[in-house]
Homo-oligomer: A and B are copies of this chain.
Amino acid sequence: MRTDRLEAFSDGVFAVAITLLVLDLQLPPTNVSLIQGLADRWPGFAAFGLSFAIIGIIWVNHHALVGALRVVDRPLLFLNLALLMSVVLLPFTTSLFARYLVRGGGDAHVAAAIFSGSSLLMSLGFNVIYVWIIRHPALRYDATPPRSSVRATLRFGVGGVVYAASIGIAFISALLVFVLSALVAAYYVLDQVTSSEPVES
């Protein structure tokens, strides 16, 4: 099975999910001034930025992973669907996180844990696909194991470990979960930009 429709469908889901994030930026209530109304909703804007970065990063990684594939088998199609389901859930868990971060109280901890859980799911989905591709050389253009695989596995693992730890951290401080998630996102962007080299089209 060709990789092009896998790419087209995945790109479609990534594009819709990243754009739907804007639907969570609700207009402020009209009984306070606009500036006040927007300021009260800062967690919504921060969550929008974070989720946009998370989906953007996972898209860049997905792009790189699928680019190494010559063919796709059926299990990979379904693993990819599972990854996409975690991507599609992110606007919902983000929206939940933002709402309860504003409201505070005990539910903010629960919402932060759910957000961490959905980030962990995405990370796990990505890692399972990565392992599947490493173990099935026939799917790849280049059957020899990629030299960078150890480093890449470590790197992907970092996110997973932080997200798993965040589920516990959520019950200490919801805000800390937000900060940690933002740091992981910033780390991925910096890591990828600095290791950048153009590749022939």
The answer to whether B14 and A16 have CB atoms under 8 Å apart is no
Asked whether A73 is an interface residue with its Cβ less than 8 Å from the other chain, the reply is yes
| Other contacts beyond A12-B19, A71-B198, A74-B195: 13, CB < 8 A | A1-B64, A1-B198, A3-B201, A9-B14, A9-B59, A20-B22, A33-B106, A34-B110, A35-B110, A60-B74, A71-B200, A73-B196, A74-B196
Secondary structure at the A interface, as helix, strand, loop or mixed, is: helix
Most chain B beta-carbon contacts within 10 A, residue among A33, A49, A75, A196 = A196
- Which of A78-86, A121-129, A143-151, A153-161 contacts the other chain? A78-86
Q: Nearest B residue to A71 by beta-carbon distance? A: B198
Asked whether A189 is an interface residue with its Cβ less than 8 Å from the other chain, the reply is yes
Q: Given A11-B9, A27-B96, A59-B9, are A199 and B71 also a contact pair (CB < 8 Å)?
A: yes
Asked whether A40 is an interface residue with its Cβ less than 8 Å from the other chain, the reply is no
- Closest chain-B Cβ to A121's Cβ sits at a distance in Å of 12
* Chain B residues, Cβ within 8 Å of A56: 78, 81, 84-85
* Chain B residues, Cβ within 8 Å of A152: none
* Chain B residues, Cβ within 8 Å of A74: 60, 192-193, 195-196
Task: Tell me the bound Cα distance from A52 to B87 in angstroms.
Answer: 12
Asked whether A70 is an interface residue with its Cβ less than 8 Å from the other chain, the reply is yes
Task: Tell me the bound Cα distance from A8 to B74 in angstroms.
Answer: 20
Asked whether A139 is an interface residue with its Cβ less than 8 Å from the other chain, the reply is yes
Task: Tell me the bound Cα distance from A198 to B136 in angstroms.
Answer: 10
* Chain B residues, Cβ within 8 Å of A89: 22, 25
- Closest chain-B Cβ to A34's Cβ sits at a distance in Å of 4
